[in-house]
Each structure stands twice: as structure tokens, then as C-alpha cells.
Structure 1
Amino acid sequence: MDTWESLRKECLDCKGCSLADTRHNVVFGDGAENAELLFIGEGPGQHEDEQGKPFVGRAGKLLDEMLEMVNLDRSKVYIANIVKCRPPQNRDPLGVEQDACIDWLRRQTALLRPKIIVCLGRIAAKVIIKDDFRITQEHGQWFERSGVWMTALYHPAALLRDVRKRPETFEDLKAIQAKARELCDHTGL
């Protein structure tokens, strides 16, 4: 059976795909290891690759601000990605890379046993919620699978590029806050 320590050590040594050849750091994940809310992005960018932590660049700063809006922070949630290594030039992770990496996320999720999963962007939503997920039409909608509630937000990087999406994202965040109040025991909401 996995422990956080054994899983992290095993993941940091991963050579399961070609992304291992160009990475500086594996970006395993960050946050409370007993979190009831799991936020999932697509993969690390340059700053994340350099620091070995998810969402630490401009998009990460915006994610922190988004969490603050609903009285959350990284100490109360867990943040991970579909792939743990940076795709070159921040391109979308290829299917073969996602397939090679998804088991790490599954094992993290099994350790966490979250009550709510929030996908950050279309790629995470397509992998986690359903393969034909359309972020512009389906962000903020709730899906339930095996007792876990899932939703998707626009990726923080998309919100940096298009500020017009921020008001609807704020509404989605308020819905996440309400769902967390309903389902979660130790988020402090």
C-alpha cells in the first residue's frame, strides 16, 4: 500500500516517458495530504519545473487569489497535475505522456480520498470528468462519480489571457465553496 513518502519517492524517479529527459524537476503535487478538495491542472510550466511545485508562476498566483476569494488556501487543498513533468515549450501534454503519468495521479487520489475534485482547464476536465468535456459550455457544472463530486474551472492561465471570463469563474468558485460547506469536514468553511 502506498504512503505519501513512498509514492513521492517513486514518482521523483519516474522515467515513464520522454518528458523525463527534458525536465528539471518532477512536480509531484502540493498541499494538505488529508485534503478533501483536490485541484488538478494539466501539467507544469517553466516556473513549476524549476521549483518542483505546481502553480507557482503567474497562473499560480492567480489560483492563490481565487482560493482566497472563497476562504481557501494551499494548506486546506491539494494541487496536482495530469502530467508531472513539463512538456517542452508548455505545449499540451500528449496522450502518450498522459497515459504514462495518470497512474501517479490515481494513486495520489487514492491516498487523499477527496470529496471534491476541481479540474483546472479543459485538458484536466477531459481526462478526469469526460473525454468530450467542453470547458466553455460545461465549466461550473457538477458531475458525481463513486461519491466524488467533480467540476471544472477555466484554467488560471486562460483567465490571465481573457479577463472577461473572470466573473463567471467567480460564480463557479462560489459554487465550489457551497459544495465544500455541504460535503467537507475540515476545510474551515
Structure 2
Amino acid sequence: MIQPSDMTAAELAALLAFHADAGVDWLLEEVAVDRVAEFAAEKQARGARQPAQPPAREATPSASSNGPQSRATPERSPPPRPQPTTPIVIPDDKAIADARFAAESARSLEELRAALESFAGCNLKASARSTLFAEGSAKSGVMIIGPMPSADDDREGLAFSGRAGTLLDRMLQSIGLARQDVLLTTAIPWRPPGNRVPSPAEADICRPFIERQIALSEPKAVLLLGNFTARFFLAPQATIHAVRGQWRELAAGGHTSPVMATFHPQELLLAPATKALAWQDLLTFRQELRSRGIQG
């Protein structure tokens, strides 16, 4: 086994970053322990200590000189154990109400940013490094919303970082847009541990903040990226393949914007064959921007 003393500072930093990206928050032991072998040894030891059970004897009736024979009372079997039930996920109503109050109290994007950074009602914040908020410019009227921060986003404190961010820059350039000219944000402001999907309760707590972002920025067109984002805003049971490339309406705080969903850049990296479909969606999105006078 490689010891930390055998590694350089750069290798140690890379190893720690790998564990953090995998959702490891701390180490419990100085040396790795083979829990599987430990459990097998304990099980074998318990089997050796357990005494053999004597065979059960049948109850025999006892004779009485003054009356009929009496029967031995049969032993009662223990009641069956109750089967474990799946716990019901109940959204934290108070946290949702607090999030709604904090979001609706903001009168500008900067006030909303401050409210989000001070909000402590979502447990995702406890394990995340960064709180992601909208970046870029709302003046163009174009808003792009992704799902939740990736490991790169959480580490850099900026939405759409790493390889996926580089690909998004190219996608925007292909239709005449630039990162600094659009408003980039995520539906969930904190990275879930291990990149898992947020629970329904966590999504409900985060919803007031992103809806307030939309209401305050008043975009003229919204592009949703990824399967989770499409379900979050459009159809909870749909897939990105079913809703992509279709114009719909997105209402938030009295403001309604045309919205279209397409693939997330990370999905394009994992399945390059979908790039042709994403290109069709981007052309449709550019046509809508031109029809609204957003782009020449």
C-alpha cells in the first residue's frame, strides 16, 4: 500500500480532491480496514461459541390418581417480527416557507444573492463548498439554467466549469452568444454529496430562489439544460428526449418567458451522438432570439 510519505504534495492534493468529489467528507481510520474480512471472522467466531441445541422432547401426559390425565401446555411460538417499512419523505414545510419568504423579500438580484448565501434551511448547503448564484448579464434577455452544481462548479464557485463549461462556451459561440452576455445559473444552488439527485424536499426548498431569479431578471427567452432541469420546470415525469426542442411558457412571479429545453453539455460529452439533436435545438433557440429582436 502506498503511504502518504511516499507521495508528493501535488499527488496528495489530487488524491484529496478525488475523495472530495466522490463525496468523502472525512476519514475515520488512519489505516484502511478490510471490513468484509472482519465481519466474516466475527461470524465464524460466533458460530463456534454457539452451543448445540438439544432436540425438542414431545410432551407426555401425566397420570393422576384423583382424576383424568392432564395435558402439558404447548409452548407458544414468539410473535412475528414487524416488517420494516420504507420511511416516507416529508418535505420540511417550515424550511420551504422560510425560503419563500427570504426569496420574495429580495427586491434585486444582489439582495437575492445575499438572502441565498445567508439561508441555512437546506441540508445541501452543509456539505457544499460554494453557493452558486446567477453569473453574467441579464441585460441581453437570455437566461440559461442548468441542474445542480457539478464537482468542478462547486470547487470553482462558478456554474458550468470544467469540460462541460468549455463545451457550453462553444455551443453559445455557435449561435452568436458569449458567456458574459447571458445570465447563467442553476436550479439548485448547492452541489449534492456525491453528485446525487436532490430529494423532492430539497428541490422544493430551493425552488423559491430560482423562481425569484427568473422574476427579477425578466428574461425574454430561457434555455433549460439537462434532464433534471426539464423535469424541475416543465414535466416531473418526462425525459429530456420527450421535451427537448419544444417551446413552452415558464411563469415565475408574474413574469412569463418562452422556454426551451435541450441536452446538458455533460450529457453531450457522455453521449456524443446527441450533439446533432442539440445543434437542432440551438438553431431553434437562435431563431426565437432573432424573432424577438434579441439577436441580429
TM-score normalised by L of structure 2: 0.60
* Aligned residues: CA RMSD: 1.5
Q: Secondary structure at the match of 1:75?
A: helix
1:108 corresponds to? 213
Deviation per residue, 1:2-60 (Å, 9 max, x gap): 11221111111221211111111101121103341111111001111122111012111
Aligned equivalents of 2:220, 2:144: Cα separation in 1: 11
* Partner in structure 1 of residue 269 of structure 2: 160
List, as ranges, runs of 4+ consecutive aligned residues in structure 1 with deviation greater than 6 Å: none
Equivalent pairs: percent with the same residue?
Answer: 30
Name the CA distance, whole Å, in 2 between partners of 1:26 and 1:65: 25
The one of 99, 116, 120 equivalent to 1:15 is 120
Q: Please say if 1:173 is aligned against 2:278.
A: no
Separation of aligned partners in 1, 2:140 and 2:206 = 21
Counterparts of 1:41 and 1:94, CA distance in 2? 17
1:182 is aligned to 2:287 = no
| Conserved 8 A contact 1:39-1:80 | yes
Q: Following the alignment from structure 2 to structure 1, what is the Cα–Cα distance between the partners of residues 293 and 120?
A: 36
| 1:116 Cα deviation after fit | 1.1
State the aligned residue count: 187
Which runs of structure 2 are paired with 1:9-88 in the superposition (5 Å)?
9-88=114-193
Q: Given residue 218 of structure 2, which amino acid in structure 1 is its aligned partner?
A: R
- CA–CA separation in structure 2 for the residues paired with 1:110 and 1:161: 33
**Where in structure 2 are there 5+ consecutive unaligned residues?**
1-105
The TM-score normalised by the length of structure 1 is 0.93
Instruction: Give the unaligned 5+ runs of structure 1.
Output: none
Partner Cα separation in structure 2 for residue 38 and residue 94 of structure 1: 25
- The Cα of 1:150 is off from its aligned counterpart by 1.0
Q: Which residue of 1 aligns with 2:225?
A: 120
Q: Which amino acid aligns with 1:107?
A: R
Q: Which has the higher contact order (CA 8 A, sep 6+)?
A: 1
Paired with 2:227 and 2:210, the residues of 1 have a C-alpha distance of: 17
